[in-house]
Homo-oligomer: A and B are copies of this chain.
Amino acid sequence: MNRAEVAIPVGVSNRHVHLSQEHWDILFGIGAEPRKFRSVVQPGFYACYETVDLVGPKGKLEKVRLIAPHRPKTQIEISKTDAGMLGIKPPVRDSGKLEGSAGVQVIGPRGSLEVKEGVILAKRHIHFAPEEAAAMGIREGEYVQVRAGAEGERELVFKKVLCRISDKFKLEFHLDADEANASLVKTGDQVKIV
C-alpha cells in the first residue's frame, strides 16, 4: 500500500490533563474514581466528567478536562495560546517526555497542588496500530510530512510529524487547537502523508 494514498482521520486535541494516582487523590480525594464522559478514538482511553483549573502567573484556564485512566506521571497538554494566557512557556514534547517541562498550579474540587513539571505543547503525531503501520511501511519514531486542509483556504504541510506505533493505538493524526485553527481542519477530517 502506498502510504500517501491512505486517508488518515484527524483528532484535534483540546487542552486536557492526565493525572497520576497521587495527584488525583490530592485533587479529587482518596477513594474517588473518575467518571467516564465519552470515549476517545484511542482504545481504552476516555474523557471524564471531572475537570481541573490551571493557574499560571498571568491567568487561569477553567474546566480543563481529565483523560483517564491515570498515568504514572501527571501530564498536562495545552496549546501555545493557552500557555500565553497562563503566562508559562511549555516546550514542544512527545507524550511522556516531561523532564524540564513547564509547571503550573492545578486546582481540583478537594485540593490543589503545584505541578513542578508536566506541562507540554504536544508534538503533533500520528498513532498507528502495528498492522496499520506495517501496511503503510511506517517505522516507530519515523518522521513524516502531512498535508492538511487540502482544497481549503489554509492548506499547509506539517513537517516533522512523529509516527508512533502501539497495539493500544488506532490510526489517527493528532494536532492541537492552534494547529487545527491554522489549517482549518477539525476532528473527523482526513489528511494524507506526502
Which residues on A are within 8 Å of B, measured CB to CB?
Answer: 79-81, 91-92, 123-124, 153-160, 177-179, 181-184
Contacts and interface: CB of A to CB of B under 8 A. Distances in A.
A182 B184 contact: no
Given A79-B181, A80-B184, A182-B182, 9 more contacts: A80-B181, A81-B177, A81-B181, A92-B153, A92-B184, A156-B156, A178-B178, A178-B182, A179-B182
Contact of A157 (B79, B157, B181, B184): B157
A156 B154 contact: no
A153 B179 CA distance: 13
Contacts of A183: 182
Contacts of A80: 181, 184
Nearest to A177: B81
Contacts of A81: 81, 177-178, 181
Nearest to A154: B92
A178 B82 CA distance: 11
A181 B84 CA distance: 10
A135 B156 CA distance: 26
Nearest to A149: B159
A106 B146 CA distance: 39
Closest 8 CB pairs of A and B: A182-B182, A80-B181, A178-B181, A92-B153, A157-B157, A179-B182, A155-B159, A178-B182
